[in-house]
Amino acid sequence: MFSPASSMITDILQLHLAIPEASVERFWQQQPSPFSANGIRWTASLNQICLDALLPWIQEVHASKARVWKNPASLSSIWEVVNGSAIDFDHQRLVIIPTAAADFEELRVPQEWADLPSWAGDYYVSVYVNPDDQEIRVLGYVTHHMLKQRGQYDAYDRTYSLEADCLIGDFNVLWTARRLCADEVRRAEIAPLPALSLEQADSLIHRLADASILAPRLAVPFQQWGALLEHDGWRQRLYQRRLGLPEAWSVQQWLQTGISDLAQQLGWGTMDLQPNLARGANGAARVLVRQLTIAGKLYEFCVFQQSEEVWRFELQSASIGGLIPGGFKLRLLTEDLMPFENNEDIATSAIEQLYLEVCLSPGDALTWEIEPLPDSYEREILRF
């Protein structure tokens, strides 16, 4: 039964935060957006406002090293197909579900955020966004375990829902519970998804690239959709195809005409070496470089052509004289994440660099991995 008194108490306990002025200006400018429909743009704007307002507060008050899950430059590829965003802090994850509905009745979490192993969070928070009053309000939160145990799954729109009065309304409780209840079970078990073959992924991307399909997440079985989405490179391909954007990951094109805007935003650049320092046996002096932060230190991941068929991949410290610690790994996989012979180099002790040399033909594609994972790591498909 609805109680005005209890509603007033809940509202007092809820966290209210001002939306940064720059975020409000971007919201109302209505600039052309990198999305396939206006409704998607609206939802994406709500997600961005939540991150702009909530992340600085978390960093200042609770976790100074909190950061957006995924590289901010790639968030559009998520928001094109799924509502929600996430913040990582202290090896835990907060999934944010924004709403513009003032008459909040329930938290509805898209299945991707609950059932994809690499996406799932420890906590799920509903946030009311009010651009007119320039504020957000944290309506309440639940743990992943609570969501899966008490939430109602709706197969029609593939969401888990929980009524408003089942949420913990005081956001401060989350941070107190983390300190006092370290053994609390926050995550329920999640079954792994079956792997997709390259042929299956190509077929799904071709089918779902049609921008007239407004909800591609509902157009195919969840296990196939989830496996496609978990592969960052395939998610980016789908996003680019839905917007009719040109290929963004062609290494040959990067070397000939410049690195694509998306790749630049994700950190890729070029470095021209002096002829006497060129590492390529064919005299090529242009190297593709990506700066990475791993365990708080800067490294450089370099890709360049060693000969007509051979490409070299290197990982080295960005500091002069710096070494790669023992235990680091550099690994290459096929586009569909299959290993191949001599695809991994491991530092058994501190060394100057890790490297791999691979024979590639035009049209081949590889993904790269580094352990420990770099900050904001996303799997990328490099096409040669």
Q: What are phi and psi for residue 93, nearest 5 degrees?
A: -135, 135
Tokens of 296: 């708080």
- Answer with the one of 208, 225, 242 that is the final residue of a domain: 242
The structural domain count of the chain equals 3
Same domain for 87 and 206, yes or no, is: no
pLDDT of residue 284: 52
Listed in sequence order, the residues at least 6 apart from 238 whose beta carbon sits closer than 8 Å to its beta carbon are 77, 81, 204, 205, 208, 209, 216, 228
Count of residues for the chain? 384
- Answer with the one of 190, 210, 242 that is the final residue of a domain: 242
Same domain for 143 and 207, yes or no, is: no
Same domain for 368 and 294, yes or no, is: yes
Same domain for 296 and 210, yes or no, is: no
Q: State how far the Cα of 201 lies from the Cα of 376, in Å rounded to an integer.
A: 24
Q: Which residues in the chain land under pLDDT 50?
A: 1-9, 276-278, 280-282
User: Does residue 188 sit within a domain?
Assistant: no
What's the sign of the alpha-carbon dihedral 71, 72, 73, 78?
positive
How far does Cα 159 stand from its chain's mean position? 20
* Structural domain for 156, as ranges: 4-180
User: Does residue 186 sit within a domain?
Assistant: no
pLDDT of residue 251: 94
Same domain for 215 and 169, yes or no, is: no
Same domain for 51 and 85, yes or no, is: yes
User: Does residue 220 sit within a domain?
Assistant: yes
User: Does residue 189 sit within a domain?
Assistant: no
User: What 3 state SS string does the chain have?
Assistant: CCCHHHHHHHHHHCEEEECCHHHHHHHHHCCCCCCCCHHHHHHHHHHHHHHHHHHHHHHHHCCCCCEECCCHHHHHHHHCCCCCEEEEECCEEEEEEEECCCCCCEEEEEHHHHHCCCCCCCEEEEEEEECCCCEEEEEEEEEHHHHHHHCEEECCCCEEEEEHHHCECCCHHHHHHHHHCCCCCCCCCCCCCCCCCHHHHHHHHHHHCCCCCCCHHHCCCHHHHHHHHHCHHHHHHHHHHHCCCCCCCEHHHHHHHCCCHHHHHCCEEEEECCHHHCCCCCCCCEEEEEEEEECCEEEEEEEEECCCCEEEEEEEECCCCCCECCCCEEEEEECCCCCCCCCEEECCCCECEEEEEEECCCCCEEEEEEECCCCCCCCCEEEC
- Name the burial class of residue 245, with classes exposed (0-12), middle (13-18) and buried (19+) by CB atoms within 10 angstroms of its CB: middle
User: Does residue 203 sit within a domain?
Assistant: yes
User: Does residue 185 sit within a domain?
Assistant: no
User: Does residue 103 sit within a domain?
Assistant: yes
Same domain for 256 and 358, yes or no, is: yes
Same domain for 90 and 146, yes or no, is: yes
Q: What are phi and psi for residue 351, nearest 5 degrees?
A: -140, 170
Q: State how far the Cα of 78 lies from the Cα of 232, in Å rounded to an integer.
A: 10
Same domain for 44 and 151, yes or no, is: yes
Selection from 153, 380, 102 nearest residue 268 by Cα: 380
Same domain for 128 and 227, yes or no, is: no
Same domain for 73 and 129, yes or no, is: yes
Encode pLDDT of 357-381 as tens digits.
999 999 999 999 999 999 989 999 9
- Answer with the one of 152, 180, 208 that is the final residue of a domain: 180
pLDDT of residue 107: 96
Reported pTM? 0.90
Same domain for 99 and 8, yes or no, is: yes
Per the CB < 8 A criterion, the answer to whether 101 and 94 are in contact is no
User: Does residue 222 sit within a domain?
Assistant: yes
Per the CB < 8 A criterion, the answer to whether 55 and 66 are in contact is yes
- Here the CATH number for the domain that contains residue 271 is 2.60.40
